[in-house]
Amino acid sequence: MNKPIVEVGTVGLVDDLSGTIPSKPKLGDKLLEGKQEKVGVVGLFDDPHALVKAAEKVRDAGWKQWDCHTPFPVHGLDAAMGLGWSKLPTIALSLGFTGAALALLMQYWMSAVSYPVHIGGKPLFSWPAFVPITFEMFVLFTAAGTVLTGLWMCKLGRWHSPLHDSGVMAEVSSSRFALVLSAKDELWSDGARSLLDEAGCTDVRDLFEDVDDGRIL
Amino acid sequence: MSARPVTTEDLLPFPLVPEGTTAKDIDDAVSLPMESFPTRRWWIAFSFSLGLLLIFSVNVTITVSQGIGTWGVNNPVGWGFAIVNLVFWIGIGHAGTLISAILFLFRQHWRTAIARFAEAMTLFAVLCAVQFPVLHTGRPWLAIYWMVPYPNHNNLWTNFRSPLEWDVFAISTYGTVSFLFWFLGLIPDLALARDRAKHPLRKFIYGLLSLGWNGSNRAWSHYERAYGLFAAIATPLVLSVHSVISFDFAASIVPGWHTTIFPPYFVAGAILSGFAMVTLVVVLLRKMFNLQHLVTESHLEVMNKIMLATALMVGYAYASEFFVAWYSGVLYEKYVFLNRAMGPYAWGYWSMVTCNVFVPQLLWFKKFRRNPWLMVPIVILVNVGMWFERFVIIVTSLHRDYLPAAWGMYHPTWVDAGLLVGSFGLFFTLVLLFVRFLPTIAVSELKGAVLQKHAGAHHE
């Protein structure tokens, strides 16, 4: 789409986009070395209840590229955002059952095919004795599957976020609730922030993202 | 009457935090140990633990360089302190999974404040536990070849019908799953630590570990399902692990071991010892870091109630073992149990009964359940008792079995004692490093449970 690019400049602190330049940068402050582009707007709420109400409005307006950011999972927000049930357990459990099948197959092959040991005519494929390891492998594969699927579905391992670049993440981690409207959405226009104003948000800010500066954090 | 939806608050047996606690208060209290220079109390505890860890290292060196001939194991008692310690430490770990998984499934929200401690404890206890069987192989550097089925020149495989091989899979799965569960819970709190960090190095390390978590609700919705699934699989896992450990004994034909009561009996004992250890660690840490308002006396009281319940189960198991030995009419079974209570190791047996069954009866009194200084001796004694339980099971059954000509006594050596004492050094060193560098309380979960009371009512 036609992404609006706003060049903020080469000086200034991330936490301070209003234009005033603090006298001396402190250790730990991140200087804007390159350019930032505007990628959306963010509305900050103090009350999770208000966020849920606003999310319903955005959902009903037909937005697709938007998200809420909260310090803890807020009850009812999934429904308010129109999110369905996560498919994660289905994928993780399928991996788990695959692990169980592989474990049983491994024990069968090693005990009955590769190196059969005949002891008093006892069965080579004595499956009840193979249950514990089959079960443990089911659990191990499900757990590993949950983590890997989770990393992928939660889009983790992507250390860079516009919330950091715009300096709102610290507030969100602690106690505030953010609603982000992305400029990538088809409904995006310069008036998008009025949607948040209408939803009762008193703290609406532009959201910026660093143009790739080669850092991972 | 308009029905009010059930909120988290309705399900709590007591308020989690004092009235008026804000999100910032919780963040500050939990982050304080990570963000400030360690206190004197921490340094004292840490040096003491390091001292014990040094003892452990010295004895590991002796064992590895000279072999397990330095231990007291011999015929007829081939499993000595090492296996006692293995079962003891695995048991300690079980409380962590119980708190993080089983109590989660039962929606016991009070667990929030202690779940992280307990999960970390599980991880460290499993780490202590695995030292012993690996050292017991005599050549730890070759242990992996004997334990894991791998394609080798002789086409030989491990014996999948052996409970010892089941143990390899059960304990390694347990360790891995406990770590993943713990790490999954840590991610949002590491993100908080990242966003609070002032120093660029801290920001970098916590940032790296938190995997770029940004609190997105699209992520939270998967995250919560992942957490629930983890709890659902960790629950049968924790029960299976100690059951498999008990199969090491129950699947043999040694009198006193060959019994079907072992799996539930071992699990109940594990929960008792694990809760005793969690209570001990929590009492010390809340004092050390001034977390008394987040980990309240009501938390301790609930844990003590669980200890009392499991102590009764364990007591019932002791009685039932005796009854079944008598009722079976098997000469050897009857002898083993009489020998436990009246033979040369009677001191071990009665230490076990006193510490695990009689001492916890004090917890019927509210005062003992709520006063940290009164419960500390109780939980220490319970841990002593649970160690003796494993000692009694292993040593008394082995030292006199079928053939009187093959009877003998077990004499542990200084190396055995050093490894046991030293393993506590390994455990507490890791616990103290954990409380120094990672969030000790599940901040996001606690904030969710505390701050959501108004928002919770809103559903479609």
CA geometry: angle A165, A166, A172, nearest 5 deg: 105
Instruction: Tell me what the mean pLDDT of segment B114-138 comes to.
Output: 90
Residue of A nearest to B241 (CA): A136
Measure CB to CB from residue A71 to each of B166, B215, B218 and give the nearest one: B215
Q: What does the pLDDT read at residue A8?
A: 47
C-beta atoms surrounding B101 within 10 Å: 27
Confidence of residue B203 (pLDDT cuts 50, 70, 90): confident
Residue A149 sits in which domain range? 88-153
Q: What does the pLDDT read at residue A26?
A: 43
C-alpha B71/C-alpha B78 separation (Å) is 10
Confirm whether A145 is domain-assigned.
yes
Confirm whether A27 is domain-assigned.
no
Most confident of A62-66, B255-259, B416-420: B416-420
Domain count along chain A? 1
Measure CB to CB from residue A81 to each of B217, B222, B228 and give the nearest one: B217
Q: What does the pLDDT read at residue A16?
A: 45
Q: What does the pLDDT read at residue B341?
A: 92
B224 touches chain A (CB under 8 A): yes
C-alpha B382/C-alpha B361 separation (Å) is 11
Tokens 């937005």 correspond to A63
pLDDT(B412) > 50: yes
Out of A39-53, A134-148, B17-31, B220-234, pick the least confident: B17-31
Q: What does the pLDDT read at residue A24?
A: 44
Say which residue, A185 or B308, is predicted with more confidence: B308
Confirm whether A99 is domain-assigned.
yes
Q: What does the pLDDT read at residue A195?
A: 81
Partner-chain contact A88 B169, CB within 8 Å? no
Tell me the percentage of chain B whose pLDDT exceeds 70: 94
Confirm whether A3 is domain-assigned.
no
All structural domains of chain B: 20-453 (1.20.1630.10)
Q: What is the pLDDT of residues A93-151, one digit of tens each?
A: 999 999 999 999 999 999 999 888 888 888 999 999 999 999 999 999 999 999 999 88
Q: What does the pLDDT read at residue B401?
A: 87
B250 touches chain A (CB under 8 A): no
Q: What does the pLDDT read at residue A60?
A: 85
Confirm whether A120 is domain-assigned.
yes
Instruction: Tell me what the mean pLDDT of segment B8-37 comes to.
Output: 72
Q: What does the pLDDT read at residue B13?
A: 63
Say which residue, A120 or A24, is predicted with more confidence: A120
This model of the complex carries an ipTM of 0.89
Confirm whether A124 is domain-assigned.
yes
Confidence of residue A14 (pLDDT cuts 50, 70, 90): very low
Out of A28-32, A71-75, A191-195, B133-137, pick the least confident: A28-32
Confirm whether A47 is domain-assigned.
no
Confidence of residue A7 (pLDDT cuts 50, 70, 90): very low
Task: Give every CB contact of residue A191 below 8 A, 6+ residues apart in sequence.
Answer: none
Measure CB to CB from residue A154 to each of B166, B222, B236 and give the nearest one: B222
Mean pLDDT, chain B, rounded, equals 87
Partner-chain contact A132 B208, CB within 8 Å? no
pLDDT(A15) > 60: no
Confidence of residue B4 (pLDDT cuts 50, 70, 90): low
A197 touches chain B (CB under 8 A): no
Tell me the percentage of chain A whose pLDDT exceeds 70: 81
Confirm whether A148 is domain-assigned.
yes
Residue of B nearest to A138 (CA): B233
